[in-house]
Amino acid sequence: MVEDLDSKMTESGTDLGDDEPLEVPKTRWPFISGIALIITMGLLFLTAWLSYYSGEYIEDMDGDGPLEGIVYERLHGKDVPVEGVNVSIEGTDIWQETDSSGYYRIDHAPAGIQSIKFSKPGFKTIILKDIIYTEEDLEGGDVESNNISFPNNQRGGLLLDPFERHIDHQTLTLSNGVFYANIINITGAPVSNLNVSYIESDYDTTVSKNDSKPVDIDGTGTLFLNLTAGRYVLFIASPGNITVHQEIMISPNKNNSMEIQMHKGTGTQEFLLEQTLAISGKIQTVEGEPIPDVQVAVEGTGLYTMTNIAGEYVLEGIPPGLRTISAKRINYSVSSIEIFLDENKSQDFSLEKLGVEVVDNSDYSLYYYCAAFYIIGAIILLAGGIMALKRKSYGVALLGAVVGIIFAFPLLPLLHHCIAIILCLVALIGVYLSRREFG
C-alpha cells in the first residue's frame, strides 16, 4: 500500500525527496537603474567634451576683457594697500597704476594667457601668468571675474613682498648755527627802534609774519641768532624806513653773518636767496656694480635726474636747505637720505637688487585632465548600466551607481550634475533592492 502511494505521488509530479529552488520574481528596478546610469553616462561625456572645448578655447582665445585687482603689502601683520604700483601686460604698451586703495583696472586687456607685471621701486617685481577672459565670457557667467590678485595663489589681492619693504631712509639731526647781522642805514650808521622777528622758511612755502617769533635786539643794531640750521625769513621794521623781508641761511656749526641795509620810505622790500646748488655722485649695487637709469630726486620739489651707464648723476638747481634725496629704480631697493645743502655736495648710494618672482596660474591643461577623468567615469557607468539591464554582475552595477555619485558631486551647483546625482541615487537604490535578480 505504501508503494502504491509513493507511485501515485511520483506520477503526479510530487517528489518529497527533492526541493527545487523557487524562481525570484522580476521587477523593473534593474531596468530603471540601467537607464539612469546610461543617462548619467551621457552627462559625463557632455562634461568631458565641455572641459576639452574649454582648453581649446583658451589656447585660441581672441578679444579682450577687463582686468582688475588690489595690490597690498603686509606691515606689522596687517594688509596695507600699495599706491603707485605699475601694473602692465608684458608684450604690450598697456599699463595702469594702483590708486591710494591699491586698486587698479584695465578695461581692454587682451584675452588669453597673459603675463601681468607688478613693479614698484623698493619691492620685488612679480610677474603673474594668468588667463584673461573676454567680456562675453564674464557676462555669460563662465567665469566670475578677471580679478588678477592672489595672496597664496587665490584671487582677491596681490601680496607684494610680504616680509620686507626694502626701503632705507637715513635721517639727519641738525645742529645749531649762529647768525650775526648788522642792520644799518645808507650812511652806515646803526638803525635804532628795530622790530625784528623770524620764521622758518622753505623755497616753495609762503610764510607769514603773523607766525613769526620776535627777537630781542639792542640799540646797536646788531642782530644775534642761535638756531637750528636751516632757511629763515627775517621781518625787520623800523619807523620811517622800508620794511625788509630778508631770507637767510644758517649752516650747522658755523658762524653766519651778513649786513642788512635799510632805506627811508614806506612799503616792503623782499630779499630772497636766489642761489641754487647741485648734488652729484654714483649709484651702484652692494657688489659694486654701477646701476644705470636710476631716478635721483629731491623729494617734494619735482627735481630729478637719471644716472648714466656708469651709474653717475648730477642734479642741479636745488634750493639750499634741508633736503631729502632719494634713489629709485624698479626691481631695486629704495635709498633716501636727508642732507643739508649749503654748498655743492657729493652723495653716493648703494642699492640692493631684488630679483623677479614668477607665479604661474595659467595652466589650462587641467581642462584636458578633467575631460579624461570624466571619460573614465562615463565608461564605468556604461558598464554598470549594461550589467543592470542584463541583470548580471551585481558588483559592477553597484560600482557604476557609486562612481556616478562620486564623479557628479564635485560640480553639484551645475544643473546637469544635480540631475546626475539624483539619477545615480535612484540607480543605487534600484540595484540594491533588486540584488537577488542578478545572476
Domain residue ranges of the chain, discontinuous segments joined by +:
24-56+366-437, 61-164, 176-271, 276-353
- Asked whether residue 428 carries a pLDDT value surpassing 50, the answer given is yes
Tens-digit pLDDT profile for residues 99-138: 988 888 888 888 877 888 988 888 888 888 877 777 666 5
Identify the residue whose cell numbers are 630679483. 355
- Asked whether residue 421 carries a pLDDT value surpassing 50, the answer given is yes
In CATH terms, the superfamily for domain 276-353 is Carboxypeptidase-like, regulatory domain (2.60.40.1120)
Residue of higher predicted confidence among 248 and 146: 248
pLDDT band at 155 (very low <50, low <70, confident <90, very high): very low
Average pLDDT, the chain: 80
Tens-digit pLDDT profile for residues 48-87: 887 776 665 666 667 788 888 888 887 777 778 888 999 9
- Mean pLDDT calculated for residue range 7-36: 66
Identify the residue whose cell numbers are 633736503. 323
C-alpha cell at 237: 621794521
Give every CB contact of residue 49 below 8 A, 6+ residues apart in sequence: 371
Tens-digit pLDDT profile for residues 281-304: 999 998 999 999 999 999 988 899
- Mean pLDDT calculated for residue range 4-15: 48
- Asked whether residue 152 carries a pLDDT value surpassing 60, the answer given is no
Give every CB contact of residue 149 below 8 A, 6+ residues apart in sequence: 69, 70, 71, 155, 156, 157, 158
Report the distance separating Cα 389 and Cα 382, nearest Å. Answer: 11
Tens-digit pLDDT profile for residues 172-190: 788 888 888 888 888 888 8
- Asked whether residue 390 carries a pLDDT value surpassing 50, the answer given is yes
Q: From 335, 334, 332, 333, select the one nearest 347 (Cα to Cα).
A: 335
Domain 61-164 classification at class level: mainly beta
β-partners of residue 184 are 190, 261
Report the distance separating Cα 134 and Cα 176, nearest Å. Answer: 64
Residue of higher predicted confidence among 411 and 250: 250
CATH topology agreement for domains 61-164 and 176-271: yes
- Mean pLDDT calculated for residue range 378-406: 90
Report the distance separating Cα 394 and Cα 388, nearest Å. Answer: 7
- Mean pLDDT calculated for residue range 155-167: 54
Q: For position 154, what pLDDT does the model report?
A: 32
- Asked whether residue 395 carries a pLDDT value surpassing 50, the answer given is yes
Q: For position 282, what pLDDT does the model report?
A: 96
DSSP three-state, residue 175 = coil
- Asked whether residue 201 carries a pLDDT value surpassing 60, the answer given is yes
- Mean pLDDT calculated for residue range 420-427: 89
Report the distance separating Cα 135 and Cα 130, nearest Å. Answer: 16
Confidence (pTM): 0.59
Residue of higher predicted confidence among 411 and 247: 247
CB 348 within 8 A of CB 335: no
Residue of higher predicted confidence among 308 and 203: 308
- Asked whether residue 359 carries a pLDDT value surpassing 70, the answer given is yes
pLDDT band at 146 (very low <50, low <70, confident <90, very high): very low
Q: For position 149, what pLDDT does the model report?
A: 43
Q: For position 56, what pLDDT does the model report?
A: 59
* CATH of 176-271 given 3.40.50.300, 2.40.50.100, 3.30.70.2190, 2.60.40.1120: 2.60.40.1120
Q: For position 324, what pLDDT does the model report?
A: 92
